[in-house]
Amino acid sequence: MESSFAIIAEPNRRSILSLLASSECSVGELERQLRMPQTSVSKHLRVLRDAGFVEARVEAQRRVYRLRPEPLMEVDAWLTPFRRFWTAHVDALERHLDQMDLPPKKGKKR
């Protein structure tokens, strides 16, 4: 359970994170929107919290969870060396489109 990658390997956890990307949620709200048992939501939230993906604030009986950016930034950073593999493709696609489309005003520095 150590790496951030293992954490987001779980589909339900990714769903939780996606919901929290829109707005912070209580456990009950997550439970209803994802239609999964509360005990499951709580356990996944525990994992996410231990890994630093989310943090909770106590509000009366509720716990309101919100996102923390660091672990996903780490994933994003890991992707960096790979991006050149598809930016190359995008460039090729751009060149191709330039032949049929209007010349774009955006920066094409070469």
Partner DNA sequence: AGTTTATATGACTTGACGGGAATATGAATC
Partner DNA sequence: GATTCATATTCCCGTCAAGTCATATAAACT
Instruction: Please report, as ranges, the residues that interact with its own copies according to CB under 8 A.
Output: 3, 5-6, 8-9, 11, 14, 17-18, 21-22, 67, 69, 72-73, 75-76, 78-87, 89, 95, 98-100, 103, 109
- Looking up tokens 């955006």, which residue turns up? 106
Instruction: Name residues contacting DNA, limited to 78-97 (CB under 7 A).
Output: none
37 binds, among DNA, its own copies, none (CB under 5 to 8 A by kind): DNA
d(CA 54, CA 102): 45
* Bridge partners, residue 65, by sequence: 25, 56
Under a CB-based contact definition with an 8 Å cutoff, are residues 48 and 16 in contact? yes
The size of the interface with DNA (CB under 7 A), counted in residues, is: 28
Taking every pair of Cα atoms in the chain, the longest distance, rounded to a whole number of angstroms, is: 61
Applying CB under 7 A, the span of 22-30, 66-74, 78-86, 89-97 interacting with DNA comes to 22-30
